[in-house]
Amino acid sequence: MTDEALGWEVLACEGAARAGLLRTRRGVIETPVFMPVGTLGTVKGVRFEELEAPDTDARIILGNTYHLWLRPGAEVVRACGGLHRFTGWGRAILTDSGGFQVFSLAHMRKLTEQGVEFRSHIDGRPCFLSPEISMEVQAALGSDICMAFDECPPGQAAHEAARASLELTARWAGRSHARFHDLQREGADAGRPANDEGNARQALFGIVQGATHLDLRRESLSRTVEVGFDGYAIGGLSVGEEKPVMYEVVEAIAPEMPADRPRYLMGVGTPEDLVECVARGVDMFDCVIPTRNGRNGQAFTSRGRLNIKNARWATDTRPLDEACGCAVCRRHTRAYVRHLYAAGEMLGAVLLSHHNLAFFLDTMRRVRQAIRSGEFTRFRREFLVGLGSGVE
């Protein structure tokens, strides 16, 4: 077992922005990177072939502990050889720990020091998730990057509540770390690549909380770093706080995160958020927006958002985004996609999801290239102007 689960190298910086290489046991990932969300072992509406195609070329996707734990169950995935073999996705996978569900399912869970008791959103039966169980599930899934089990408080959490939450998250970070490394030593990791010469273990990221309170964020950061992780994430943003506040927190905290580790901003964001947070020092992102909004009829374009449901596109024979070279934009018109969507045809949602992911991933490619060539400042300015120009 190699000591380092991940390789991390910064290739270029511009201001706080950095372009780097993240070496996982399943391939090299150029950063800044956007990770499509595939909660249940599927990036909804998009086949793996399409995620691997040049116009998209996703190098790493997400899976979710909570959802896969409930269905089909960790042991089913383990019995099938881990999440990669189970799904047929051979590139890297990062699994979230279930911490976000502590927030998103807040009204149907009970929080204790030991862990969280959820009522299953599927059938209502009680299910207990803890740092240890989350690590066990993630080992069974065999993801390449695991996340510590955290508590994600609402963005508006007051100082006192945010402190209590942060401290619980810090204790859970220690427990996650301990159980994770025991499991690695025990060989519980179901996802070791067949051709893995280095016999690399899974990686584990810690999560910084503290809501919008910078003193708490700094404290959370130092306590998380104290535990020692392969990478560090900012959690608990884009969960109800105002956008300028989110940018402030990222701007203050990201540059203070260990420079020799990747920095991951969880759950963010819109195209604008990606560029703005890269500018503030973030390397990794994930968000459901491109797929969820795609399924709900919205296309992201270089000129802003386009609601395909709008009557104005009924006979528009242009692609979703005239500046986009994705497979959908090369072949289909707004009129056709709108027709599919209006008719309730699943292909409408599929095409929008594909385009949105291609747009997000292409944006990140351009971001990386801009940083490497020292033109990120200009890129950022022009990109934002483009987004604000409006779809005609």
Q: Which residues are catalytic?
A: 96, 286
Site for RNA in 164-203 (CB under 7 A): none
Q: Does 269 bind RNA (CB under 7 A)?
A: yes
Segment 337-346 long-range contacts (CB within 8 Å, at least 24 positions apart)? 337/299, 337/308, 338/308, 338/309, 338/310, 338/313, 338/314, 341/297, 341/308, 341/309, 342/309, 346/45
Interface pick for RNA out of 10, 53, 108, 327 (rule CB under 7 A): 108
Nearest approach in angstroms of CB 45 to RNA is 7
Per-residue string for binding with RNA, 45-84, x by CB under 7 A?
Answer: -----------------x-x--x-----------------
Q: Which neighbouring-strand residues pair with 206? A: 232
Q: Does 43 bind RNA (CB under 7 A)?
A: yes
Q: Does 89 bind RNA (CB under 7 A)?
A: no
Interface pick for RNA out of 71, 312, 378, 381 (rule CB under 7 A): 312
CA distances, 264 to each of 67, 217, 324, 356 (Å): 21, 15, 27, 21
Interface pick for RNA out of 51, 83, 141, 147 (rule CB under 7 A): 147
Q: Does 220 bind RNA (CB under 7 A)?
A: no
Site for RNA in 1-30 (CB under 7 A): none
Interface pick for RNA out of 243, 332, 366, 372 (rule CB under 7 A): 243
Give the separation between CA 359 and CA 373, rounded to whole angstroms.
21
Per-residue string for binding with RNA, 278-297, x by CB under 7 A?
Answer: --------xxxx-xxx-xxx
Helix (H) or strand (E) holding 103: helix 99-104
CA atoms within 13 A on the CB side of 251: 11
Nearest approach in angstroms of CB 133 to RNA is 15
Which has the closest alpha carbon to 167: 206, 209, 226? 209
Cβ proximity of 196 and 148 under 8 Å: no
3 state DSSP class of 27 = strand
Nearest approach in angstroms of CB 195 to RNA is 28
Task: Give the Cα-Cα-Cα angle 222, 226, 231 (nearest 5 degrees).
Answer: 85
Q: Which is nearer to RNA, 192 or 207 (CB)?
A: 207
Q: Does 155 bind RNA (CB under 7 A)?
A: no
**Only segment of 78-86, 219-227, 248-256, 306-314 that touches RNA (CB under 7 A):** 306-314
Cβ proximity of 250 and 282 under 8 Å: yes
Token output for 337? 């996609």
CA distances, 368 to each of 38, 55, 356, 363, 381 (Å): 23, 16, 18, 9, 15
* Site residues (vs RNA, CB under 7 A): 37, 39, 43-44, 62, 64, 67, 96-97, 99-101, 103-105, 107-108, 121, 147, 150, 152, 207, 233, 235-236, 238-239, 243, 266-270, 273, 286-289, 291-293, 295-298, 305, 307, 309-312, 314, 342, 344, 346, 349
